[in-house]
Amino acid sequence: MKPVGIERPEAALIAFDGVSKVFGLGASSVRALDHVDLRIDQGEFVAIMGPSGSGKSTAMNIIGCLDVPTSGRYLFKGLDVGSLDRRGRALLRRRFLGFVFQGFNLIGRTSALENVELPLTYRGIPADERRKRSLLALDRVGLKERASHAPSELSGGQQQRVAIARAIVSEPSVLLADEPTGNLDTRTSREIMDLLSDLNRQSITVVMVTHEPDMAACARRIIRFVDGHIESDNRTMETA
């Protein structure tokens, strides 16, 4: 396994260099990504959009080190992720990436605090330090007073806030959000987007997949995929 954490100051945080991803073989193969070039720098808030089958989810899986390109290179902080074995990619995810999903993915039989502590438990952080850092993460999302509540005692929006706290408790460089408002009503969705924007202003890079234009408009950059290619890549009015 090659070491994780090699950084080059001039390198993009995330870079695709001619990345292609092909599923299947022969006549039944599907090219989900086709020679995609992409650069995302530290501190950006990027929304990735596109119709079903456009390649946006495949791109997100590669960024999250959950999959690897068939060809081309994915560079994270200048490190060729393709040079890592499965364990090396897992270490990179654990050290640098936080994940937020549409379905919250909380453990129902444990408290909000225990859910947030989970990534630190995997890293072997002592109990006192886990609790301290997890309470701080819950405080950042406005839920410190609900630390002892089970997920079933929380609203959908509160559950997503717990999921975000769990994602940021390890202080990741990048927060990857896959349809984070997909199960929420409009008002609660706006609250979650305000929270993601606030975290981005606190130096966390946010990359979000969404099919909702109103939510994508909260990002500072919108990338649209179509048929495995980037169709457009635009800054929003706020930062244009």
Residue 1 lies in a domain: no
Which contacts of 216-222 are long-range, i.e. CB under 8 A and separated by 24 or more positions?
216/47, 216/49, 218/45, 218/47, 218/193, 218/194, 219/45, 219/46, 219/47, 220/44, 220/45, 220/46, 221/44, 221/45, 221/46, 221/47, 222/46, 222/47, 222/49
Residue 4 lies in a domain: no
pLDDT at position 104 is 87
Report the predicted TM-score, pTM, of the whole model to 2 decimal places: 0.89
Residue 123 lies in a domain: yes
pLDDT at position 65 is 95
pLDDT at position 240 is 43
pLDDT at position 238 is 55
Helical pair 156-168 and 112-122, crossing angle rounded to 10 deg: 20
User: Which residues have a Cβ under 8 Å from the Cβ of 120 and sit 6 or more positions away?
Assistant: 129, 130, 133, 134, 169, 170
Task: Give the residue numbers spanning the domain of 163.
Answer: 9-239
Residue 171 lies in a domain: yes
DSSP 235: E
pLDDT at position 43 is 95
Please give the C-alpha separations between residue 120 and each of 57, 58, 169, in angstroms, as whole numbers. Answer: 27, 28, 8
Residue 3 lies in a domain: no
Residue 53 identity = G
Residue 139 lies in a domain: yes
| CB atoms near residue 133 (< 10 Å) | 18
Residue 2 lies in a domain: no
Residues 137-180: pLDDT tens digits? 999 999 999 999 999 999 999 999 999 999 999 999 999 999 99
Q: What is the mean pLDDT of each run of 10 residues along the chain (240 residues)?
A: 49 94 90 96 96 94 95 96 93 93 89 95 92 95 95 94 94 94 90 94 94 93 97 76
Total count of domains within the chain: 1
Whether residue 169 contacts residue 134, with contact meaning beta carbons closer than 8 Å, is answered with yes
pLDDT at position 3 is 44
CATH assignment of the domain containing 55: 3.40.50.300
Residue 65 lies in a domain: yes
CA 71 – CA 34 distance, rounded (Å): 9
